[in-house]
Chains A and B, each alone.
Chain A
């Protein structure tokens, strides 16, 4: 069964500092991986996706993530944090379909990013 672990439910960085949010997955087949961001009382917005092409994936808002098969990781980074990056971030994996169609997405429990002045 697929699963996702996000280490650190809360991460705090200074404005301008590197952002690193960790995600490890388990999957019996090559996975598709996604990072989403959620602002308070809003839905999830797709940041980036890995679909077996380049291992370094660039997303919106200056974020990127690197797929490392040997480490079963897909960590999210951003070189310089902005105050507007404060939000909750979710990693998700999809490696199988649902009965009859559809995609089974398994989400991590999320990491709340705080950006301080």
Chain B
């Protein structure tokens, strides 16, 4: 069966520190991968997506970046965190056009 893992579950970081959130998918090959940020009352905002290794597209300009070094690994990074980067980050995958996306359990990021 297919599963998706995200870690850490929670993270508290000071402003200006670096960030690395990791997401891995098991049980499928060549998935489409996505990073979302969820803010209260505002639904989900798509940040990055990837259709293959080293193929990353950004949906919104921001302080974050993403990488996909392996087929089933997706990493969200920042060199210097801002207060506005606080939020709930969700990784998701799907297996093709118009297939439903499946989500990890998310990372709650708090910036102090």
Interface residues of A (CB under 8 A from B): 9, 32, 34, 36, 41-46, 49, 51, 90, 94, 97-105, 107-110
Min CB gap A30→B, angstroms:
10
Question: Which B residues are in CB contact (< 8 Å) with A99?
Answer: 57
Number of interface residues of B (CB under 8 A): 28
Q: Which residues of B contact A44 (CB under 8 A)?
A: 44, 90, 92, 103
* B92 proximity list for chain A (CB < 8 A): 43-44
Contact between B94 and A103 (Cβ–Cβ < 8 Å)? yes
Interface residues of B in 14-30 (CB under 8 A from A): none
A102 to B9, CA, bound (A): 26
Q: In the complex, what residues of A have CB within 8 A of residue B34's CB?
A: 102
Contact, CB under 8 Å: A108 / B43? yes
Q: In the complex, which residues of chain B have a beta carbon less than 8 angstroms from the beta carbon of A32?
A: 98
Task: Report B88 CB to chain A, min CB distance, Å.
Answer: 8
Contact with A along B84-110 (1 / 0, CB 8 A): 000000101010011111111110100
Contact at B44–A107, with CB atoms within 8 Å? yes
Q: Which residues of A contact B108 (CB under 8 A)?
A: 41
Bound Cα distance A110, B40 (Å) = 9
Contact yes or no, A49 B100, CB < 8 A = yes
Residues of A within 8 A of B55 (CB): 100
B45-56 vs A: 1/0 string, CB under 8 Å? 010011100010
CB pair B98–A102 under 8 Å, yes or no, is no
Residues of B within 8 A of A45 (CB): 103
Residues of chain B contacted by A9 (CB below 8 angstroms)? 41
A-B contact pairs, 16 of them (CB 8 A): A41-B106, A41-B108, A43-B92, A43-B105, A43-B106, A44-B90, A46-B100, A46-B101, A51-B98, A99-B57, A102-B32, A102-B49, A103-B94, A103-B97, A103-B98, A105-B101
